[in-house]
Chain A
């Protein structure tokens, strides 16, 4: 089983502050890394798919970087807003399997 670690498990951030969290994974047989946002009572929603070492993706205030050689990805949120409250899942895929991390639960404080 692919070992995917996300840290921190939970995070409280003041509205307006920026934040980031980490996904680490074994670097062998890497194909792609997915980031998803999962809001309560909704379906997980795809944020990014990254495949190349050094990839950087951006979507509004959210961005992500990928290091496939050392096996990690960072997700950054700039100027946090209440709507950013969600669980953020990373999911590397290796061979034919995509395995999800346990997620980082982000709480935005007003």
Chain B
């Protein structure tokens, strides 16, 4: 069974704090993704990575950065958290290439910025 694990399920952070959201997958997938889910807006892609140390911007990268030092781990970084980054964040992974490869999701990290 593919497992995508997001280590922090619920976080409360203060405005201006640096926040790390960690994601680990155990299926040797090349692709990893970070999405955020907001009511009425659906799942929006923040960043993705198709290899170690590689990263590509998604549709809403502003205010975020990512790190992929090891194949199994993909971290989302909020350099200076703001209240509009309060959201649910989903990590996902898949085999290399998009066509027909199932994306497997973690259970989500709920972040509140106060």
Q: Is the interface of A mostly helix, strand, loop or mixed?
A: loop
* Cβ A49 vs Cβ B98 within 8 A: no
Our pick among B35, B44, B99, B106 for the contact of A31 (Cβ within 8 Å) is B99
* Cβ A102 vs Cβ B98 within 8 A: no
Q: Give the residues in chain B near A41, CB-CB below 8 Å.
A: 107
Our pick among B45, B90, B103 for the contact of A34 (Cβ within 8 Å) is B103
Residues of B within 8 A of A (CB-CB), count: 23
Specify the chain B residue showing the minimal Cβ separation from A41: B107
Q: Give the residues in chain A near B100, CB-CB below 8 Å.
A: 31-32, 49, 51
Q: Give the residues in chain B near A102, CB-CB below 8 Å.
A: 40-42
Q: Give the residues in chain A near B56, CB-CB below 8 Å.
A: 96
Q: Give the residues in chain A near B12, CB-CB below 8 Å.
A: none
Specify the chain A residue showing the minimal Cβ separation from B98: A93
* Cβ B106 vs Cβ A43 within 8 A: yes
Residues of A within 8 A of B (CB-CB), count: 23
Q: Interface 1/0s, chain A 41-68, versus B by CB < 8 A?
A: 1111010010100000000000000000
Using known A-B contacts A1-B59, A100-B42, determine if residue A51 contacts B103 with beta carbons closer than 8 Å: no
A35–B106 alpha-carbon span in the complex (Å): 17
Give, as a whole number of angstroms, the nearest-CB distance from A105 to chain B.
11
CB of B105 closer than 8 Å to a CB of A: yes
Q: Which residues of A contact B (CB under 8 A)?
A: 1, 31-32, 34, 41-44, 46, 49, 51, 89, 91, 93, 95-103
Can you give 14 contacting A-B residue pairs, CB < 8 Å? A31-B99, A34-B102, A42-B107, A43-B108, A44-B105, A46-B102, A51-B99, A96-B98, A97-B45, A97-B98, A100-B35, A100-B43, A100-B44, A102-B40
